[in-house]
């Protein structure tokens, strides 16, 4: 095929690919076509002719001894030639030399042309799919926006995202929300699979904690530019979430910047999450203090971190006044579940006879000492 370089560049421009990727796919298509229309036992190679700029098909034949067993094997024999026979063509050949025999696909008429067309189409499509796969594989956990094109009988929502179609399963949708064709929605890429039968499949999610983090980064400039870091997050989708924030700049209040003036920033995110309540917590590397913060609105007396044999924290024993237990647990256990999720620890509550005043102070704590206050003095 003449002007193969120009053809490769044209295809690359049309499909948004690199010319060398297209050239590799074209070479593979030519070799596969030669195997199908000439002989699949031959060893072919596609080579660019520097003079004509055409793509030549070359059959490679290796010179072996006259008594080589491979010459008797019908499966591999076409790739070899005895040294006696080879020297009938060239008396200078030696053992293990590789002879190259050119072939023209044009000699095989319509069969060769139609087969080549199918092979080129197939291999270029594979390159396009591989590029898309790598592109969206790198986008796992990031925010994408698309338009709803279909909702099937199982309530899976199909979304057109740029040049591909993704699916938002019902399990990854916030409870109570529904979509119609033409709606625009945001979600994070949860999973990207490549299947031989169905091609590339992209699964989205609106229930992942990463979705909350990406929405906050979109709404809060301090998070987007790194002045505020998200150290952890946990969600009960559509109901409540907790997010741990750390400021990297002494003049930036992590929680204040995220909440915004009169709560405008956090309310915008909450609205996208169908009214999900979001607790913003200042992160600290002191586990006892962090646990006390994430248990809010409950007021805690004392926190003990229990470690395993490897020295890793695995459980937190929280001592608190009896009148704070219901707050610590939360409605349907939401508060303690979120605290356990964001800390990665199992949480155990221990009640005392202490009570809390209207000012939030603990009276008559165990042993007459506010253990938490003593811990951080």
Residue written as token pair 């997010």: 243
Per-residue pLDDT at 372:
46
Instruction: Write down the domain spans for the chain.
Output: 4-136, 140-205, 208-283, 291-377
* Rg (the chain; Cα; Å): 33
Fold of 140-205: OB fold (Dihydrolipoamide Acetyltransferase, E2P) (2.40.50)
d(CA 218, CA 243): 15
Q: Name which of 163, 205, 204, 157 is nearest 181 in CA terms.
A: 157
Per-residue pLDDT at 367:
47
pTM of the full predicted structure? 0.75
Reply yes or no on domain 4-136 having CATH 3.30.70.
no
Per-residue pLDDT at 218:
94
Q: Kindly report the CATH class assigned to 291-377.
A: alpha beta
Q: How far is CA 121 from CA 11, 58, 117, 130, 187, in A?
A: 11, 22, 6, 14, 33
DSSP assignments along 270-322, one per residue: HHHTTS-EEEEEE--S-HHHHHHHHTTTSPPSEEEEEE-TTS-EEEEEEEEEG
Fold of 208-283: GMP Synthetase; Chain A, domain 3 (3.30.300)
Is residue 124 within 8 A of residue 131, CB to CB? The reply is no
d(CA 140, CA 188): 7
Is residue 106 within 8 A of residue 99, CB to CB? The reply is no
Establish whether domains 208-283 and 291-377 are of one fold. yes
Q: What is the pLDDT along the chain (377 residues), one digit of tens a residue?
A: 557 778 888 888 888 888 888 999 999 999 899 888 888 878 888 888 777 778 888 888 888 888 888 888 877 777 788 888 888 877 788 888 888 788 888 788 888 889 988 999 999 988 988 888 898 999 999 999 999 999 988 889 999 998 889 999 999 999 888 899 999 999 999 999 887 777 788 999 999 999 999 999 999 999 999 999 999 999 999 999 999 999 999 999 999 999 999 999 999 999 999 999 999 999 999 999 999 999 999 998 899 999 888 888 889 999 999 888 999 999 999 999 999 999 999 999 998 877 776 665 666 644 444 444 444 44
Per-residue pLDDT at 96:
83
């Amino acid at each position: 095929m003449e002007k193969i370089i120009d053809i490769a560049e044209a295809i690359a421009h049309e499909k948004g690919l690199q010319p060398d990727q297209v050239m590799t796919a074209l070479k593979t298509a030519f070799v596969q076509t030669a195997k199908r229309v000439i002989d699949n036992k031959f060893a072919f190679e596609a080579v660019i002719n520097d003079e004509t700029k055409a793509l030549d098909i070359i059959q490679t034949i290796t010179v072996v001894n006259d008594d080589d067993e491979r010459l008797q094997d019908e499966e591999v024999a076409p790739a070899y030639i005895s040294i006696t026979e080879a020297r009938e063509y060239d008396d200078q050949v030696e053992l293990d030399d590789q002879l190259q025999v050119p072939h023209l696909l044009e000699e095989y008429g319509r069969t060769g042309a139609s087969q080549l067309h199918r092979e080129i189409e197939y291999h270029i499509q594979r390159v396009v799919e591989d590029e898309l796969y790598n592109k969206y594989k790198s986008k796992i956990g990031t925010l994408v926006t698309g338009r709803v094109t279909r909702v099937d009988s199982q309530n899976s929502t199909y979304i057109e995202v740029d040049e591909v179609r993704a699916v938002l399963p019902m399990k990854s949708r916030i409870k109570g929300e529904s979509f119609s064709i033409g709606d625009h929605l945001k979600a994070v890429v949860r999973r990207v699979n490549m299947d031989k039968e169905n091609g590339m499949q992209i699964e989205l999610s609106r229930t992942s904690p990463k979705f909350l983090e990406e929405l906050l980064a979109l709404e809060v400039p301090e998070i987007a530019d790194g002045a505020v870091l998200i150290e952890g997050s946990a969600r009960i989708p559509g109901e409540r979430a907790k997010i741990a924030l750390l400021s990297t700049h002494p003049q930036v209040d992590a929680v204040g910047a995220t909440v915004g003036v009169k709560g405008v920033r956090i309310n915008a995110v909450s609205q996208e999450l169908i009214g999900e309540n979001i607790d913003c917590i200042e992160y600290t590397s002191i586990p006892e203090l962090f646990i006390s913060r994430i248990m809010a609105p409950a007021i805690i007396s004392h926190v003990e971190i229990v470690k395993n044999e490897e020295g890793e924290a695995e459980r937190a024993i929280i001592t608190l006044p009896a009148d704070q237990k219901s707050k610590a647990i939360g409605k349907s256990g939401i508060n303690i579940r979120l605290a356990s999720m964001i800390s990665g620890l199992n949480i155990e509550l221990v009640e005392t006879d202490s009570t809390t005043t209207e000012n939030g102070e603990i009276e008559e704590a165990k042993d007459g000492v506010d253990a938490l206050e003593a811990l951080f003095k």
